[in-house]
Structure 1
């Protein structure tokens, strides 16, 4: 343990010197640190946010600030930007390597930073979960199940929005035939159901849209695969 602390102190000291050579005049804008273990870099300050990447132990980080309660810190590693629980972030303070705490953070110049959709839009465009901001931030939820047996494959997913809306989808393939269905419910009572599928000869689908005031529209059609 003592050897690790000496190594960490040496790494942090070198990082601090290197950073100061290229950093802006306002040195308090960012602080060098290391990850104390393999830890997930997340897209927001909570374990409910998706994982951006898993940081390796001793990863050299740049810390831009922490949440008001100093439980999560905004960091970057290479080209990746995200949030790490503060107790996995170690900085050099008063001659020692220590994890970030509410006492340490202001002492080394780390400011309070906030998380919002602008941050999300800046760093996560193109990620598979980028379009699910409301699911992660607004208190919604998403569950997915999938699998295959000897003859067929299937999958289902349910997403619930923060204001009562939701979406369920299911799909699968068996013996050369594929099909799928989805139901979307709006927060004010409207909804839409759709089903479709293909066999060796034809693809067909149908949709029912129901407005919040009770009006309904039905559409269906098919097409040959020749």
Structure 2
């Protein structure tokens, strides 16, 4: 995990080369996260998933290609997952380090639209409910997918010369949890249990400095 995160950091820094001036910012905010869960693995059967509240914290760099277009790599931590509407209100929290590369277009001096691919690396996985403390990290005990490939699209609104706010939707394309096991009858079972992270993000961004 540590080696992968270091590699992502180096990739984040390497993307900065080859264009003009780089703008450095920090970002912090919240997301509403959910997933699709295989109904065969939810007890009781009528239980449904609901969005859960998570947080976002990270770095932004932006290189303007010209007056209209820009490239915006980011490196940030986000907490994804889901909540069940069962009696104990079970919540799953997935901690990801994400590296999106976004391509933006300035619609006006204050508003821009962007989209692009995103790669995430899964860290700890925790569960809890209203009656219990947070569980131990269960990532290694199950078949969780370390990598999460997806894409995001959103709108940035400039509040001032230093501050802006983002509204973004992220869609994951890879399964989160895949099980491969032998059941009580001796059959080999392969099942996608948790599919496709999805988040709605709102973040506040603050410009720090410009570099080359």
Q: Tell me if both proteins adopt one fold, taking TM over 0.5 as the criterion.
A: no
Structure 1 length as normaliser, TM-score? 0.22
Q: Which protein is richer in strand relative to its size?
A: 2
Compare relative contact order (CA 8 Å, sep 6+) and give the higher one, 1 or 2.
2
TM-score by length of 2: 0.23
More helix by share: 1
